[in-house]
Structure 1
């Protein structure tokens, strides 16, 4: 995975996944990415799936209007779909908790990087502050 920043879309996997939003007409592609993480044990979640879950959680936060700067694909997607449901927000919170867990492969790759930890906390706050 090529990574250039600790932000949710600061890596190749998430940036590539964002293009799936170009064709999406509803929250299904986002929900699918979140569900993979939310239904996994942190120690069993592949780092690529964790990256996608974090990016999907960012899309939900953007859909709530709580994240300012997003990728073009995210902005266009959020503009054409309805706001995320409370159930989707709850799924995003759960998926983020698993994807960013200290027990997970992705956290091992980041080795406690303070920027990565801060980005995940900022995203968690955006999803839970209402």
Structure 2
């Protein structure tokens, strides 16, 4: 079937990744997620694990402020560990790499509107994963001293 929706787990490869996460020992789940993200972020040429990286990033985003639960039956059934903060940055880098690829993944949809919805989902995930920027409201000097 391949791709059937625009969500991060709405394709065969990502749903297989969810099954692999469920089959992995709890302490190995972070390792699998980190690997898919790192290989995608550092990839040159064809992105062989982009669909897994999108799914991994979505799982991390659920634990971030502003993150939302993933509403599909294809997510892992077993609980994910609490992910370390550094995975947010790695996930954002992987998604940026996918978007910079002028995404070959966007070609998975026959309808251009579906491809745009998928790209909007990826952009939203990037926004959730991006670390909060430093406030510029903090004065550099205390003039009252």
TM > 0.5: yes
Q: Distance in 1 between matches of 2:103 and 2:43?
A: 10
Greater RCO, CA 8 A, separation 6+: 1
Structure 2 unaligned regions, length at least 5? 133-145
Equivalent residue, structure 2, for 1:34: 37
Give SS of 2:8's match: coil
Q: TM-score scaled by structure 1?
A: 0.79
Q: Which has the larger helix fraction?
A: 1
The within-5 A match list for 1:56-71 is: 56-64=56-64, 66-70=67-71, 71=73
Structure 1 runs, 4 residues or longer, greater than 6 Å off: none
Tell which structure's C-alpha radius of gyration is larger: 2
Over the aligned positions, Cα root-mean-square deviation in angstroms equals 2.4
Confirm whether residue 20 of structure 1 aligns to residue 20 of structure 2.
yes
Matched residue count: 124
Q: 2:128 aligns with which of 123, 126, 129?
A: 126
Q: TM-score scaled by structure 2?
A: 0.72
Q: Distance in 2 between matches of 1:76 and 1:89?
A: 21
| Compared CA separation, residues 15 and 72, structure 1 to 2 (3 A) | closer
Structure 1 unaligned regions, length at least 5? none
Give SS of 1:45's match: coil
